[in-house]
Amino acid sequence: MPTRERLAARQHRVVDDLLHGRVPDGFDALRARHTARILAMKRVDAIERACEEVTWLPGWRDLAVRFCFEQPTRGCAHTDRDEFIAWLRRNDLARNWIRLADVYAGRRRSTVYDGDLVVSWRSEVVHLRLTPSRGNSWHSD
């Protein structure tokens, strides 16, 4: 195999390892893991720009990094957003947040999330804070 082809194959393996959070052969483990996390965070930041409501999911960045290491990039940030939500669904993670994401995506009309009634109304999503009326409490004695 010519030198150029060997180099290209080696580069492909190194990039693939880093994108999956693995340490390539012959690389310093600490630096490789750091580089892998930086590459994953670039995708995570793009997912956030495509899906602002993801920031309401507790621990979402760590979940998104796990997703990035498990799922190869297949497109743009919108594809990553959709695949991240599908990955959360498949792994039964963040069930309540997925209902919220479904409202934003138009797959669901409403849900209750973090004390808000979240409703899709025409082309907007509205959050209405649920509070008890005076003299009433949320729990019975």
pLDDT in tens, 63-118: 999 999 999 888 899 999 999 999 999 999 999 999 999 999 999 999 999 889 99
What confidence category does residue 141 fall into, taking pLDDT thresholds of 50, 70 and 90?
very low
Strands (E), the chain: 110-113, 116-121, 124-129
CA distance 111 to 140: 23
- At residue 108, the pLDDT reads 94
pLDDT in tens, 30-65: 999 999 999 999 999 999 999 999 999 999 999 999
Map out the domains of the chain as residue ranges.
3-129
For the four alpha carbons of 73, 79, 84 and 87, in that order, the dihedral sign comes to negative
What confidence category does residue 140 fall into, taking pLDDT thresholds of 50, 70 and 90?
very low
